[in-house]
Amino acid sequence: MAHTDTHEKTLADKILERTGVDVRECYQCGKCTAGCPMVQFMDLTPSQVMRLAQIGDRDAIRTLLASQTLWSCVGCLTCTQRCPKDLDPAAVMDALREIAYEEGLVPDAQKNVLKFHEAFLKTVEHTGRMSEVPLTALYKTLSRDFFSDVLLAPAMLLRGKLPLVPRVIGGRKEVRRIFKRCLEPEQSERPVQPEHPDHPDEKTEEGRP
C-alpha cells in the first residue's frame, strides 16, 4: 500500500513556505525585542511573536493574527540584523500580516494601516516610485481620514516635502508589469508541456520517425 502523507501543515510550516524562515530555530534570546524601536506600541513583542508562531496551536494563532503588533511593525529590519541565528523576524511579520489579511482578521483599530499599504503600493504601481501628493490623496480617500493631520500640510509644503507635481520615473510600464506578474495565479503547479511531443506518427527535424 502506498504511503499517504496526512501531515497537516502547522503555522510554522506555512511561514516557512512563504518566507524561507523556520521559526522553530528561534531560541528566544530576545535580541529582536531589545532592539525594536516600535516595541512600546506593540501588544506582543517580536520574540513573543516568534514563540507563538512556534507553538502554533489554535489559541496561539488566534492571538497572533488579531495582534496589533503585526500592523505596528514598520519593517526597519533591526530585529533581522540582530538575530544571532540569521532568522528574519521582519519577514515573519510580513507573512503573518498576509495570513491575517487573507482570513479577514485585520483588527479594526489597524485597518487604516492596511489602507496606507494599499495606497503606497498603488502609488508605486502608477508612478514607479513613492510620490507624496498622490500617496496622501489616495490614503485620505481610502481611509476617509481627511482632517486628522491637515495642519501639518502648510509646513510640509514650505519645506518642499509635498511637491505639487508628482515625480515619476521612466519604465513605468515595466513596474506595472511586475505588479501584474505578482498578482497572477501561481504557475508552478501547471504541467509543463514538452516542446516536441514524442508521438509515433510524428517525425523529428531530421525526418526520422
Run of H or E including 154? helix 153-158
Residue 16 has pLDDT above 80, yes or no: yes
pLDDT class of 85 with cuts at 50, 70, 90: very high
Neighbours of 44 (CB within 10 A): 19
Weakest mean pLDDT among 131-135, 159-163, 182-186: 182-186
Go through the domains of the chain in sequence order and give each one's CATH number: 10-105 (1.10.1060.10), 107-183 (no CATH)
Query: What average pLDDT does this structure show over 175-201?
Result: 61
Of the given ranges (28-32, 67-71, 79-83, 103-107), which has the lowest mean pLDDT? Answer: 103-107
Which phi and psi angles does 17 have, rounded to 5°? Answer: -65, -40
Range 177-183 average pLDDT: 88
Whether the per-residue pLDDT at 205 is higher than 60: the answer is: no
Is residue 46 scored above 80 in pLDDT? yes
pLDDT the model gives residue 209:
42
pLDDT higher than threshold 80 for residue 191: no
pLDDT mean over 38-55 = 96
User: pLDDT averaged over the chain?
Assistant: 84
Confidence at residue 160, expressed as pLDDT on a 0 to 100 scale: 81
Residue labelled with grid coordinates 516610485: 129
CA distance 193 to 124: 36
Question: Among 13-17, 42-46, 120-124, where is mean pLDDT lowest?
Answer: 120-124
Nearest to 69 by CA among 106, 22, 119: 106
